Structure 1
Amino acid sequence: MLSDADAAALYDTFNPWDPEANPGDRFCHERVMAADSVLDVGCGTGAMLHRARADGHRGRLVGLDPDTAALDRARRRADITWIEARAAGAAAAGGDFALATMTGHAFQFLVDDDELRASLAAVRDVPRDGGRFVFETRHPQARAWEDWNPSHASDALDGAGRPVRVWHEVDSVRDGVVAFHGTTAAADGSVLRVEHTRLRFLETGQLDTFLAEAGLTVEARYGDWHHGPLRDTSREIVTVARR
Structure 2
Amino acid sequence: MFSDADAAALYDLLNPWNPELSPGDRFYDELVMAAASVLDVGCGTGAMLAYAREHGHAGRLTGLDPDPASLARARRRTDIEWVEGAAADAGWAAEFDLAIMTGHAFQCLVIDEDLSASLAAVHAALRPGGRFVFETRHPQARAWEGWNPSNEHHVVDASGRSLRVWHEVDSVVGDVVTFTGTTARPDGTVLRLDRSILRFLDAHALDAFLAGAGFETEARYGDWHRGAVTATSREIVTVARRAR
TM-score range, shorter chain: over 0.9
Which digits, 9 at most, give the CA deviation of each residue in 1:164-211, with x for residues without a partner? 010000000001000000000012221010000000000111111100
Which digits, 9 at most, give the CA deviation of each residue in 1:96-119, with x for residues without a partner? 211000000000000000000000
Question: Which residue number corresponds to residue 153 of structure 1?
Answer: 152
C-alpha displacement of 1:95: 3.2
Residue 41 of structure 1 contacts residue 90 of structure 1 at CA under 8 Å; is this kept in 2?
Answer: no
Matched, 1:223 2:216: no
Question: Which residue number corresponds to residue 49 of structure 1?
Answer: 49
Classify the secondary structure of the residue corresponding to 1:28: helix
One-letter amino acid matched to 2:200: F
| Distance across 1 between alignment mates of 2:145 and 2:178 | 12
Question: Which residue number corresponds to residue 75 of structure 1?
Answer: 75
Matched, 1:86 2:70: no
| Distance across 1 between alignment mates of 2:200 and 2:24 | 19
Residue 35 of structure 1 contacts residue 99 of structure 1 at CA under 8 Å; is this kept in 2?
Answer: yes
Question: Which residue number corresponds to residue 40 of structure 1?
Answer: 40
One-letter amino acid matched to 1:208: D
Which digits, 9 at most, give the CA deviation of each residue in 1:13-68, with x for residues without a partner? 00000001100000000000000100000000000000000001000000000000
Residue 136 of structure 1 contacts residue 236 of structure 1 at CA under 8 Å; is this kept in 2?
Answer: yes
Map 1:3-22 → 2, pairs under 5 A? 3-22=3-22
Map 1:228-239 → 2, pairs under 5 A? 228-239=227-238
Unaligned runs of 5+ in 2: none
Report the identity percentage: 67
Cα RMSD, aligned residues only: 0.7
Question: Which residue number corresponds to residue 210 of structure 1?
Answer: 209
Question: Which residue number corresponds to residue 164 of structure 2?
Answer: 165
Residue 41 of structure 1 contacts residue 100 of structure 1 at CA under 8 Å; is this kept in 2?
Answer: yes
C-alpha displacement of 1:94: 4.7
Residue 154 of structure 1 contacts residue 165 of structure 1 at CA under 8 Å; is this kept in 2?
Answer: yes
Residue 45 of structure 2 contacts residue 71 of structure 2 at CA under 8 Å; is this kept in 1?
Answer: yes
Give the TM-score of the pair, scaled to structure 1.
0.98
One-letter amino acid matched to 2:178: A
Question: Which residue number corresponds to residue 61 of structure 2?
Answer: 61
Residue 93 of structure 2 contacts residue 126 of structure 2 at CA under 8 Å; is this kept in 1?
Answer: no
Classify the secondary structure of the residue corresponding to 1:199: strand
One-letter amino acid matched to 2:59: G
**Segment drifting more, 35-44 vs 125-134:** 125-134
Unaligned runs of 5+ in 1: none
Classify the secondary structure of the residue corresponding to 2:133: strand
C-alpha displacement of 1:213: 0.5
Classify the secondary structure of the residue corresponding to 1:232: coil
Question: Which residue number corresponds to residue 135 of structure 2?
Answer: 136
One-letter amino acid matched to 2:218: E
Matched, 1:108 2:107: yes
Question: Which residue number corresponds to residue 95 of structure 2?
Answer: 96
Residue 136 of structure 1 contacts residue 238 of structure 1 at CA under 8 Å; is this kept in 2?
Answer: yes
C-alpha displacement of 1:129: 1.1
C-alpha displacement of 1:162: 1.1
- Count of matched residue positions in the alignment of Structure 1 and Structure 2: 242
One-letter amino acid matched to 1:134: V
